[in-house]
Structure 1
């Protein structure tokens, strides 16, 4: 048993470059796991700077220095962010408040409809089953109401944290872009010389993460805007709120689309009932999901490494549980990182031993 373990260790860790890669990944994981709350503003700033790096390079091609290109991109980014904060957020807040206020009315209509089921289908359901279902729904709504109240109270205490994000994150993004080469050079100095595999995996992941972040942001914007416009044209209530939910649902592949279908269909059902208008809503929503899955995703992520759906779901669950929203956002790149490390990890064979000797 011990000989087998020793042989396995020798095969997998005979290359010092592999040891460097293992230690580097272990330290990064440990730091993120134990200090993720403290480092989250820095991680957000790094993610935004990574996203803005390509626009900076494109602006610099017009003959501007890097510092001036960074200034131009940061000004444009600030204008877009402020427009979203002061233009979109109030609308979302208003529609969310209206929806919460109408929940009791929707629940009452749902209860009335459920109570008619025993009369219409006595061979399938009875009054006791309906009463149990209504009680379960009320308990769930009460739990959700408590969660919303706790979130509102916690939000008041997190105003200072929000101000920290709004002030410190843009400052860090600016310096990450401006002093990119100097910061990277200083970080590389702490790595051992035997870092061939680390550099190989890093170069591969740089391209993969860049493609993923760019594609995911575009996918969220396209699906969110298109959904909002279609919902508004159909006359659906709360179009901005529901369109935004559909847009952000693409963060969680497969699961997100299934979850967000519930509020979209419920709002349409309570608004129109089982009518032709509700059928049009379901049809257009199905078209949006089909276009996203069969046209938009293959086009935006054509250069991304293909992963099995089970691997994607497992990655979303694991990394989302570890790091919340950003864990979900980067679940696919992190899963790709695991796959790249496994593929790049050397295994010592007899031919390798001869070469090393």
Structure 2
């Protein structure tokens, strides 16, 4: 009977408020729908992200007495024209660099295998030939080289036969911009319609929604700016230091900020590997790694606090766990929204009404 009283007291403390029960059910239903229909709803997620990016510009134009519809049209046309020009300019350069990297991969693997084989001679007291032989066998570099030689060229063959579906491409290139336009144009109307589907008594929901709307907006805009700054600075730095595949590595470094802590650590590997392959363990390679570390330090300690301030008030462990959980559930979108989702969980737990807990008597 003691167990039943514990359960009863728990329910009385956390589920005595009817609004809390409704909110709990809505959260469960929303997570379930996103989990089941996440791939179908991906264009909607993309449209929402773009809308959050562009809405402040629309608001600024309206503050300058530009009509709402005209503001939306101007911002929409300018942004997607800029996006189109950027893609047309950047993608061919990335394809050329990936093509060059594919052709260099076998040579790079042979280089690292030779470097491993030379370690016993350089450090005889620490590394034996048997240990190096085990490393080479474990990594099976020859097999990796053959697999990459056969697999990587298929990535570069950008044709309709390699695309998952032409319909999917059309959805992202046509439907997403249309959704962005109508979300920007009718966001107040859409928001009011959505609120009409919610219960009339929604004090708790309004409190959480108000906090989360601002935090998600700040997060999306901040991440977009962070990607541009980190990627741009990395490209200029790598280009100045004459590092091969500067554009490709800069794109990787820029998008690595989407995965806090983990992304920067993972991207260090290709930067280091290409630097060693190009120059060996020389002064040039050390300069590249030093510059890369400075970029990461400035990003984490200067840029992120400036862009996000208190928008991401989470412990690093909570962020990493959120990336692992939501990334495992929803893939790329789960990784991108991991911090806002973790913030949502924290906001719900903070605002959740708690009834008076009764003392549990001994059975």
- TM-score bracket, shorter-length normalisation: over 0.9
The CA distance in 1 between the partners of 2:149 and 2:191, in whole Å, is 47
Match of 2:18 among 16, 19, 22: 16
RMSD over equivalenced CA pairs, Å: 2.0
The CA distance in 2 between the partners of 1:125 and 1:280, in whole Å, is 27
Matches within 5 A, 1:167-186: 167-186=174-193
Please say if 1:299 is aligned against 2:301: no
Per the normalisation by structure 1, the TM-score is 0.93
Q: For residue 354 of structure 1, what is the aligned residue in structure 2?
A: none
Question: Once the 2 structures are TM-superposed, how far is the Cα of residue 156 of structure 1 from its aligned partner?
Answer: 2.3
Could you give the per-residue CA deviations for residues 298-349 of structure 1, whole angstroms, max 9, x where no partner exists? 1111131411110000000111111111111111111000000000001012
CA spacing shift, 1:150–1:37, aligned 2, 3 Å: farther
Could you give the per-residue CA deviations for residues 42-101 of structure 1, whole angstroms, max 9, x where no partner exists? 121122112211111111112111111110110111111101211111111111111111
Aligned residues: 351
The CA distance in 2 between the partners of 1:339 and 1:189, in whole Å, is 26
Q: For residue 100 of structure 2, what is the aligned residue in structure 1?
A: 98
Question: Once the 2 structures are TM-superposed, how far is the Cα of residue 174 of structure 1 from its aligned partner?
Answer: 0.6
Please say if 1:253 is aligned against 2:242: no
The CA distance in 2 between the partners of 1:155 and 1:197, in whole Å, is 48
Match of 1:317 among 310, 315, 324: 324
Q: Contact (CA 8 Å) 1:42, 1:169: kept in 2 or not?
A: yes
Matches within 5 A, 1:283-298: 283-298=290-305
Q: For residue 113 of structure 1, what is the aligned residue in structure 2?
A: 115
Q: For residue 355 of structure 1, what is the aligned residue in structure 2?
A: none
Could you give the per-residue CA deviations for residues 115-160 of structure 1, whole angstroms, max 9, x where no partner exists? 2223333343333332332231424555666765776788423443
Per the normalisation by structure 2, the TM-score is 0.91
The CA distance in 1 between the partners of 2:32 and 2:62, in whole Å, is 37
Q: Contact (CA 8 Å) 2:102, 2:152: kept in 1 or not?
A: no
Please say if 1:46 is aligned against 2:35: no
Tell me the SS of whatever aligns to 2:169: helix
The CA distance in 2 between the partners of 1:193 and 1:346, in whole Å, is 18
Tell me the SS of whatever aligns to 1:194: coil
CA spacing shift, 1:332–1:141, aligned 2, 3 Å: farther
The CA distance in 2 between the partners of 1:57 and 1:145, in whole Å, is 51
Q: Which has the higher contact order (CA 8 A, sep 6+)?
A: 2
The CA distance in 1 between the partners of 2:12 and 2:154, in whole Å, is 53
Q: For residue 268 of structure 1, what is the aligned residue in structure 2?
A: 275
Matches within 5 A, 1:6-85: 6-85=8-87
Q: For residue 335 of structure 2, what is the aligned residue in structure 1?
A: 328
Identify the range of structure 1 (186-195 vs 114-123) with the bigger mean alpha-carbon deviation. 114-123
Q: Structure 2: 5+ residue runs without aligned partners?
A: 359-363
